[in-house]
Structure 1
Amino acid sequence: MLDVTLIRNHPGQVREGLRKRAVDADIPAFLTLDATFRETRTAVERLRGERRRISAEIAVRRREGAAAGELQDAAKTLTDELAEAEAHLAELAARHQEFLDALPNLPDDDVAAGGKENNEVVRTVGEPPAFAFPARDHVGLAQDLGLVDYKRGAALAGNGYWIYRGQGAALEWALLNHFLDAHRRAGYEFVLPPHLLTYEAGYTAGQFPKFADEVFRVDDHFLLPTAETALVNLHRGETLDERELPRRYVAYTPCYRRESGSHRTADRGTLRGHQFNKVELFQFARPEDSDAAHLELLERAEELVAGLGLHHRVTKLAAGDTSPAQAKTYDVEVWLPSLGAYAEVSSVSNARAYQARRGGIRYRPADGGKAAYVHTLNASGLATSRLLPAILEQCQRPDGTVAVPEVLRRWGLPEVLRPQSTPA
């Protein structure tokens, strides 16, 4: 949520920031509403104070045995006025909150305006692999090597689902183990959160109310679309001690998303689905430390991709391609030869105080100053459903086998993936 004081004092700055996202919010209308809301709130407090004063005077007269008829009449009139004013205040408060809830975060000054066409490639690492043989795509390789069962996955759950089998399941688990081990050694606390969350969790993350229809619902809960949604809520409603910051967490969860791909080549295999695995990094930081924390998260994500020996690039997203809750996002993208394109395997984002304000997450300065909102940051560390295709395509060999990145072999994988005898 945006700081309402910022909107009041710097409406032009807010309008310009929102326009970078192509969001044209009616700030003047909100300021009019805000002024009426504050005036009405003041009037309600005045009426409540007057009612307390009259009630106290009535009590005194009763103790003294004096008549209080005129005061009781005044109290009744005041109670009716107060009820009407409180109803009006509640209506104004709902409209006030609805407007604030709908506003996305303001992009940082160095974030380009516009959509994905204005994304900026920050750096490219390595060269795309050059093959002296007809290269194959990840779908055919995964099927021939018995790694992924697309047919039975769809039979079990429908389109957008798959089953890792044999060495494919082992490769998926090795990736997760490798990532978790690296982050734990770096001092991140390992968390296994619930997969079913409440509406308040989605609201704090900035996904609700706007995107409430894009999640899988189970009664009055929803399945988390990313572990970020759970991790940002770990300290909801809390005031942390400045000396405890930064708080660093790493979680593993499946991610459940209603939106899936189509039958286009760019969405085939495990590139896009309703359920996929991801290791997520999250930090609660002091505002003055959040820029450094953002770069540290990016470095962690990029090091993992580089450690797998994969050609990749880092892209800074334009405002319109950045998640509404985030102020700045870098994507780490791997190269997929069959598509001649890059696919995102990590989004590394800084929400500034946007999520903390929605969730009431503050910290108390060590010098005893006024409590302030923390900054929240997250990064995929990493998502696996696009890494497996990248490994298959970038590490394939002329005989149809695939070399396993060396860092994964300690998890029980062979040097080379070969066809296995699995049920047809």
Structure 2
Amino acid sequence: MCTVYTFLHHVITMFHFSDEVEVDEEGVSGKGCAAAKSGTAAPLGVESKGTVGETKSMSSRFFDCQGALPVQKRVTSTMQCGHCSAPDNGVENFETELSFPSSDKGVGTTVAQRNVQTAKSVICEVYRDLERRCHEERRQYEESGTQPSQQKLNFWSTYTNKARLQHFTSESVAFVQKNPECRTALLTGKQLRFLVLLQHLVSEDSLDVTRPERLRKHQDVFEGVLTDSISSQLVEDAHRCEFSIEGRSFSLQDVLQLEGQQEERKKRIAQFQSELVHALETYLLSFCARKGLSPGGSKRLMQAVTTQMSQAGLANIDRGSEASRYFVGSQGLDQRIAYNLSTMYVHDQEALKLSIVCMRTGFTQYLDKDELLHLAGVQYPRRCKPDSYLYQYATLCFTIGLIPSWFQAKPCSIWTRQPMGRIG
């Protein structure tokens, strides 16, 4: 028997949606009312907390093989690549190694300096592994004769371009330097990796909905009752989850227990989906109206928020979590997923607060991916106590604000809490 703890990381992720940056098919083209054309969302930060195991259905959003490590990006006033926010200078491999500004190379003794030094090695490792896995996946496609989707090509193009990776690296270091918690407490490499990776993933999802279809990295589809801005994945999985919209609960757990009544079950699920989507649209449209968003801006905000209220949101937390090394048995497994959407105030400004909870209990067997890969002769699966559990919790904050087109920094905060997972 062994005891495993997964640490709960609380990262406040803030996104500012602005009508000041215009996005067209060539990227950022200048100042103007983007919402009138495409509803540009300009994410400014990410906050989240959580850990838990990883499932292939979630991770496949990023890679066909496991272990994708997308990373932080930065937007400046220069002309940008359509796939990401890095400048596009047309050079695929302008250097062979990632580097840091010379002013950052001194080793300090303060908490902030030590965190930055740790973060540098973590960030380099993340980008090297990301690039390597992109090349590996591309090779697998070529060898099998499989034609990759345009989204897959866009993903590979972004994370195998040395100029973009260098840009991401610099922004990730700057992100750690500006983070308040990185100046007050020493963080481990695993904590820093989780912080940078999670902040990037949610930001990229929010930015992806603003891109032209041909430049997107994901195949997200949206639908709705009043709009066409609700994630189809959210709708499809709605009856398996629990929702709370400003305190109003939506759950269909009782219907899932029905046996031998398939027609009634399907009818109840369809009705539940319609009621949930209508309530969600009404709530988000009301928020957008209070903030004075244009129709296009409202659409992008709704798409960004509801994308995280689906498996994409769970996958974003999983990617950087140490708990992703554990795979639990399905026999007796009880998985409860809940999304809580409400409002909060950030610097006297009303913002959307989305909490995501995933609790897995009832399993008595598990696999440890690290042991499987590194230790020979290990007997699998391992047994664990019936009261073992994995717990995932994240909070995202979306804010609205007018910002200059050249400013898209992404502040993020992190706190480490008590262990929130146990396998014994």
TM-score by length of 2: 0.27
Q: Kindly name which structure, 1 or 2, has the bigger radius of gyration based on alpha carbons.
A: 1
TM-score by length of 1: 0.27
